[in-house]
């Protein structure tokens, strides 16, 4: 029996999981920054409307 | 003088709290029976699920009874601090200046008397159902007597951590079961060794060591967990 | 930077104490770690590439296990990391509970998902290694079983942290759970090991023979070093995001975001 498919499977699972683990915070960071920008905008708008 | 007085008041508070909890538990007798009935039902499901072969049942009996005991303990654990947390009694205790460690130790003792001791007393019946050899029944009872307090003690930490959650019960089992692994392994190994006619005292020694360690450490951890949950 | 000047105006203390003091302030930590993260990723990538080149192409096939031993270069470092990250999480949890430092709380909680990922990789690669060696994907081998229990412990910490709404309370509860788990972990490990010998289980031998050839050992050691940089980079990235999320309405976050825009 050839062992190569098992090696490939092990390394691809490892790569996918570790890559996902590394990239997941980046998308969270994007949405966090979007949230913060929204908070800043709403505050600026309310400041403009009643100075 | 003052130290004697304070230690007297400490043990007084301990026994008062223990008595109160037991009284409260006996006032709700039907609720008290739920974990016991649960245990009986779970164990009776195994012969139905895998067939009534006496030898197979005897082989898996220690594991089945112990796993059923773990499940029954976790089911009853949720009530350990729940009512006192929700009606603010726990906060009152803390404000009254009694150490939280002592309070949790008293409540753990009450929990074991209400939920753990019935398991120990019921195990002859369970052993009969599971066709466990009579010689190993004594060892099974001993492991349960030494092991169920440890389950209550370790479980109290998990309860303290999840008490502020509305649906903490499901999470509690995830937190607590991995911590029960060593007890399960040692206790079932003791019973299996006794069934095979091998020496088993070393396992009972390990269980006793586990009991002593958890009695000394777990109440502190449970108190710390409660403090976090109360904050 | 107002915070930096405020710190610099204080009387000078020991450099290390100063450093720890500064690391405790979220904006300083955010900026400092932001500079560090790309370097950590770069070191990880180059070390991992080197180790994989040595391990997958240069090292000769093992005479007992054939090619399948090459799974070792991902399985063993992940298993080591899963234990190490749990330990470091528990130590940070202890520091966080005793001294109530928020950055350390955030770091401890950011460790948990990374550790769980490594544990998962160790389990998956272990069972894929088991197929050619044992002929089946899963055997209740001591190492795999304790990795499985470790995964449950990680999931408990992550689950508790996510279940409590208030972030600081959640972090402190989960830190306490991590400490309790760390106290139990050696007991679980040894009891599982002993349980395995009791029931005559099998175990993958990592080395194959009694002596491991240096050409097989070096890639393993380099890989083990590389994943530590992965952990560092991933940990800091996660901690920075958590800080941003928790401090949404604070002035320093506003400033950081404003600087990013320009």
Residues C108-167: tens digit of each pLDDT: 999 999 999 999 999 999 999 888 888 888 888 888 889 999 999 999 999 999 999 999
User: In terms of DSSP H, where are the helices of chain B?
Assistant: 2-27, 29-50, 54-77, 82-86, 89-95, 100-111, 117-129, 134-162, 168-195, 201-230
Q: Which helix (H) or strand (E) holds C201?
A: none
* C162-181 residue pLDDT tens: 999 999 999 999 999 999 99
Average pLDDT over residues C72-95: 94
Give the whole-number percent of chain B exceeding pLDDT 90: 51
B181 touches chain C (CB under 8 A): yes
* C221-248 residue pLDDT tens: 999 999 999 999 999 999 999 999 888 8
pLDDT category of residue C210 using cuts at 50, 70 and 90: very low
Q: What are the chain C neighbours of A4 within 8 Å (beta carbons)?
A: 67
Average pLDDT over residues B34-41: 90
Give the whole-number percent of chain B exceeding pLDDT 70: 97
Which tokens go with A30? 């994007």
Number of structural domains found in chain B? 1
* Torsions phi, psi for C70 (to 5 deg): -65, -20
For residue C169, give the chain B residue with the closest CA. B228
In Å, how far is C196's CA from the nearest CA of chain B?
Answer: 10
Whether residue B132 is predicted with pLDDT greater than 50 in this model: the reply is: yes
> Are C68 and A39 a contacting pair at CB < 8 A?
no
The span from the first CA to the last CA of chain C, in angstroms, equals 17
Q: In 10 A of CB C259, how many CB atoms?
A: 9
Q: What is the pLDDT of residue B224?
A: 93
Average pLDDT over residues A38-43: 86
| DSSP track, C56-125 | IIISPPBTTTBGGGGGHHHHHHHHHHHHHHHHHHHHHHHHHHHH--HHHHHHHHHHHHHHHHHHHHHHHH
Whether residue C215 is predicted with pLDDT greater than 80 in this model: the reply is: no
* C1-33 residue pLDDT tens: 444 444 455 555 677 777 777 777 888 889 889
Q: Residue C47: which residues within 8 A CB-CB, separation 6 or more?
A: C222, C223, C225, C226, C229
Domain enclosing residue B153, as ranges: 2-230
Average pLDDT over residues B58-86: 89
B175 touches chain C (CB under 8 A): yes
Q: Write out the residues of chain C at the interface with chain A, using a CB-CB cutoff of 8 A.
A: 56, 66-68, 70-71, 74-75, 78, 113-114, 117-118, 120-121, 124-125, 128-129, 131-132, 230, 233-234, 237-238, 240-241, 244-245, 248-249, 253-254, 257, 260
> Are C173 and B224 a contacting pair at CB < 8 A?
no
Q: What is the pLDDT of residue A51?
A: 54
Q: What is the pLDDT of residue C1?
A: 41
> Are C67 and A32 a contacting pair at CB < 8 A?
no
pLDDT category of residue C36 using cuts at 50, 70 and 90: very high
* A3-36 residue pLDDT tens: 788 888 999 999 999 999 999 999 999 998 888 8
Q: What is the maximum span of chain B, computed from C-alpha positions, in angstroms?
A: 66
Which residue in B161, B164, B179 is closest to C176 by CB distance? B161
Task: List the domain boundaries for chain C.
Answer: 62-250
| DSSP track, A2-40 | --HHHHHHHHHHHHHHHHHHHHHHHHHHHHHHHHHHHHH
Q: What is the pLDDT of residue B96?
A: 80
Q: Are B127 and B65 in contact (CB under 8 A)?
A: yes
pLDDT category of residue C104 using cuts at 50, 70 and 90: very high
> Are A29 and C241 a contacting pair at CB < 8 A?
yes
């Amino acid at each position: 029996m050839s062992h190569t498919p098992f090696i490939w499977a092990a390394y691809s699972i490892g790569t996918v999981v570790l890559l996902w683990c590394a990239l997941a915070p980046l998308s969270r960071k994007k949405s966090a920054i979007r949230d913060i920008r929204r908070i800043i905008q709403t505050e600026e708008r309310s400041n403009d409307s009643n100075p | 003088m003052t130290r004697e007085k304070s230690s007297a008041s400490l043990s007084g508070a301990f026994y008062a709290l223990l008595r109160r909890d037991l009284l409260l538990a006996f006032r709700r007798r039907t609720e008290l029976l739920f974990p016991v009935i649960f245990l009986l039902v779970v164990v009776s499901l195994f012969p139905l699920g895998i067939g009534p072969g006496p030898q197979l049942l005897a082989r898996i009996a220690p594991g089945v009874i112990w796993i059923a005991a773990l499940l029954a303990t976790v089911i009853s654990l949720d009530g350990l601090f729940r009512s006192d947390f929700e009606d603010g009694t726990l906060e009152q205790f803390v404000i009254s200046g009694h150490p939280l460690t002592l309070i949790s130790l008293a409540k753990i003792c009450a929990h074991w008397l209400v939920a753990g001791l019935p398991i120990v007393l019921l195990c002859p019946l369970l052993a009969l159902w599971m066709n466990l050899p009579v010689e190993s029944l004594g060892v099974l009872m001993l492991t349960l007597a030494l092991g169920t307090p440890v389950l209550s003690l370790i479980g109290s930490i998990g309860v303290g951590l999840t008490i502020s959650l509305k649906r903490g019960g499901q999470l509690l089992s995830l937190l607590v079961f991995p911590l029960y692994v060593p007890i399960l392994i040692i206790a079932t190994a003791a019973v299996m060794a006794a069934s095979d006619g091998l020496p088993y005292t070393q396992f009972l020694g390990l269980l006793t060591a586990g009991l002593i360690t958890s009695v000394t450490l777990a109440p502190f951890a449970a108190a710390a967990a409660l403090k976090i949950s109360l904050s | 930077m107002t915070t930096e000047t405020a710190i610099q105006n204080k009387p000078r203390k020991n450099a290390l104490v100063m450093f720890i003091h500064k690391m405790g302030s979220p904006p300083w930590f955010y900026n400092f770690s932001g500079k560090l993260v790309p370097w950590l990723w770069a070191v990880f990538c180059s070390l991992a590439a080197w180790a994989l080149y040595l391990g997958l192409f240069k090292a000769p096939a093992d005479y007992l296990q054939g090619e399948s031993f090459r799974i070792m270069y991902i399985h063993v470092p992940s298993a080591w990391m899963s234990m190490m990250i749990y330990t470091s999480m528990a130590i940070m949890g202890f520091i966080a509970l005793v001294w109530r430092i928020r950055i350390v709380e955030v770091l401890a909680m950011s460790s948990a998902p990374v550790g769980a990922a490594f544990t998962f990789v160790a389990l998956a690669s272990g069972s894929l290694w088991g197929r050619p060696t044992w002929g089946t994907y899963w055997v209740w081998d001591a190492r795999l079983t304790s990795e499985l229990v470790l995964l449950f412990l990680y999931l408990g910490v992550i689950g508790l942290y996510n279940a409590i709404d208030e972030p600081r309370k959640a972090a402190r509860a989960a830190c306490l759970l991590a400490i309790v788990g760390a106290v139990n972990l050696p007991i679980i490990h040894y009891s599982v090991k002993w349980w395995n010998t009791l029931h005559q289980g099998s175990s993958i031998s990592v080395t194959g023979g009694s002596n491991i050839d240096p050409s097989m050992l070096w890639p393993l050691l380099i890989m083990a070093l590389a994943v530590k940089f992965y952990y560092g980079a991933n940990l800091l990235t996660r901690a920075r995001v958590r800080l941003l999320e928790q401090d949404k309405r604070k002035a320093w976050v506003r400033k950081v975001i404003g600087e990013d825009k320009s």
